[in-house]
A = this chain, B = another copy of it.
Amino acid sequence: MSGERSGAGDGADKWPLDLEGVTETVVTTRGPNGRWNAAALGVHAPTSEEGAAPTARTFGNTRTRRNFAREAGGYVHFTDDPLLFVEAALSVREQDDPVLPETGAWVRVDVERVDAETSDGTRVETWSLDAAESAVVEEQVPRFDRGRAAVVEATVAASRLDVPAFDTETLHERLDFFGETARTCGGARVHEALDRLQELVSWRDRGE
């Protein structure tokens, strides 16, 4: 493992990349059973306000929300592994260690709830993420990969299937489009992730 960054000072320099917009990450948080639960987490770049930290939102009373509230921290992982993302977002995945093996870089964060509101019946809480420690595990040549991106979009659509505010037919159309894109453009790992997603969501069943 290379590029460990820790020590005192402002947490901003401990993020292992320049955040911009929203980055889809996988966070691990420690549950009451002592095991680390992996879940998808969209990390928002800090606002231009000086000293502002990145933020993330939890939707409803998820494991991540409960663990954030109790433990006030977690490990944010940057990755482009589509199978990890599907499992983190749509299934319960736990392990004994906080750091996931499929990660490109991780950041241990201290979290604090900075906002809460109820939107369409769902409790949305906003958390600030203050980097306490981080490590770069593996860097890569940057690239555009439609297959991996399609798995992320399909996962986002799938995670909204049970949310009343979203139209089910529209979500199914998106799942079909992204499923086709992932099959056409993806390699072996993308196909594995797509198979797992279809297993977890069963959207192929709708016409049967």
Contacts and interface: CB of A to CB of B under 8 A. Distances in A.
Interface SS of A by simple majority:
mixed
Q: How many monomers of this protein are in the complex? A: 2
A142 interface: yes
- Among A78, A138, A144, A186, max chain B CB count under 10 A is at A144
| Chain A: number of interface residues, binned into ranges | 35 or more
A23 interface: yes
Contacts of A105: 141
A51 to B, nearest CB: 19
B146 A22 contact: yes
In the A-B complex, the 4 residue pairs with the smallest Cβ-Cβ separation, listed nearest first, are A20-B187, A149-B149, A21-B187, A139-B139
Interface of A: 16-17, 20-25, 42, 45, 78-80, 85, 104-105, 136, 138-149, 152-153, 156, 174, 177, 184-190
